[in-house]
Amino acid sequence: MKWMQELQKNVTTGEELACCFPDIQSDRRTEEMIRKYPVSIPAYYLSLIDKDDVQDPIRKMCVPSFGELDLEGDMDTSGEGENTVLQGLQHKYSQTALVLSTDRCAMYCRYCFRKRMVGKVAEETAVDRESVYRYIREHPEITNVLVSGGDAFLNENSVLQEYLENLTAIPHLDYIRFGTKTPVTFPQRITEDGELKELLCRYGKKKQIYVITQFNHSREFTEQSEAAVKCLQEAGIIVKNQTVLLKGVNDSGEVLGELLKCFTRMGIIPYYVFQCRPVTGVLNQFQVPLLRGYEIVEQAKNMQNGNGKCFRYIMSTRRGKIEILGKGAGDNEMIFKFHQAKRQEDKGRIFVRTLGPDDCWIE
């Protein structure tokens, strides 16, 4: 397929990085870093980077730095291992099943919370898909499935069709979601593949299909990425967005506010703004303290109309998705609420914590 050939041209080696970015050396240390956490940058996404600016936010999201070798943090901050019921299938919240359909992505984001596996190992992905479908069929409490990865749209169309054929036939599923960043990093996967659009159109008539994508900066909205979003919308897909709050990328009220405005303009539903997780190789580079994060989110919200405010600022933890609701009465007090909980006793629970200025996470 043409899109697969196109991906072969991605920047993946130290030598190629050094050709694009004069400040990067093609040496043993760079190659070691890439071996640990693979690099893959599509030509399209590369073209969005201001090559003269080492602090460019688009660059920060895709070009590696030695900070990734920092060992602090955790590789599985939201307890994905303990929620895995079959290889490649997680069942944390009773109504939702999550499928890790591939370990491949068009681009490997430097802040990825699945850094332990993306582009590296297929041990966590769903190889026995028949067992996955059987598990979902046998659990009527599951009302929706998120097919993710990696990037769900890095699967061949025949695999996507198989997911759609099986999942749309399960009566207790209300809808199906695909997690893909291709509209942002590799829009031609959508715009230049008529077969994919036709599949989504066809199966969307059986059950509602959502695409969950991840724009993090307004500069990612281009003629090409907007065309990809429009293409999905024309196929009847509801496009939702999850942004990650990232130091040096979108950690100002103005930058985040401009991004949120793009969503309402494009008819994309802003779903979550995620607190960046304390992942090894990520936290020291990208996490924003919670007190500061709350201020940024509030400032960004104040730039929106009602539609632009319909997202939640969320931490995805082992016990569930916790919303950062607002400031408490005391100094540095923050109010939190379980938006999704693994345990019954946590459902809807509200609690208060006093935070230090550098606290980026709570346990």
How far is Cα 164 from Cα 153, in angstroms, rounded to an integer? 13
Residue with smaller CB distance to ligand SF4, 59 or 181:
181
Nearer to ligand SF4, 108 or 286 (CB): 108
The least distance separating ligand SF4 from the CB of residue 62, rounded to whole angstroms, comes to: 9
For the bound state, the minimum distance from the C-beta of residue 192 to ligand SF4, rounded and expressed in Å, comes to 19
Residue number with CB closer to ligand SF4 (102 or 317)? 102
Angstrom distance (rounded) from CA 180 to CA 199:
16
Residue among 86, 159, 158, 93 nearest 124 (CA) = 86
Number of helices and strands in the chain (H, E): 14, 12
Letter string b/e over residues 140-150, b meaning 16 or more CB atoms within 10 A of that residue's CB? eebebbbbbbb
Q: Please report which helix (H) or strand (E) contains residue 177, including its range.
A: strand 175-179
Report, in Å, the least distance between residue 278 CB and ligand SF4: 16
C-alpha closest to that of 247 among 282, 205, 212, 291 = 282
Of residues 120 and 312, the one with the C-beta less far from ligand SF4: 120
Retrieve residue 71's tokens: 């060992």
For ligand SF4, which is the closer residue by CB, 100 or 341?
100
The residue among 66, 199, 91, 183 whose CA lies nearest residue 141 is: 91
3-class DSSP assignment, residue 274: strand
Which of residues 106 and 255 has its CB atom nearest to ligand SF4 in the complex? 106
Q: How far is the CB of 83 from ligand SF4 (least distance, A)?
A: 17
Query: What minimum distance in Å lies between the beta carbon of 23 and ligand SF4?
Result: 23
CB of 154 to ligand SF4, least distance (A): 9
* Closest distance to ligand SF4 from the beta carbon of 335 (Å): 29
Distance CA 363, CA 318 (A): 9
Question: Which positions lie near ligand SF4, rule CB under 6 A?
Answer: 105, 108-109, 112, 114, 118, 149-151, 181
Nearest residue (CB) to ligand SF4, 168 versus 185: 185
Q: How far is the CB of 149 from ligand SF4 (least distance, A)?
A: 6
H or E stretch including 165? helix 157-168
Nearer Cβ to ligand SF4, position 149 or 289? 149
> Measured between alpha carbons, how far is 151 from 164 in angstroms, rounded to an integer?
16
Nearer residue to ligand SF4 within complex by CB, 149 or 308 = 149
Burial of 348 (0-12, 13-18, 19+ CB in 10 A): exposed
Query: Which tokens go with 347?
Result: 């459902």
Shortest distance in whole angstroms from residue 177 CB to ligand SF4: 14
Cα atoms in the 13 Å half-sphere on the side-chain side of 156: 6
Collapsing DSSP to helix, strand or coil, 203 comes out as helix
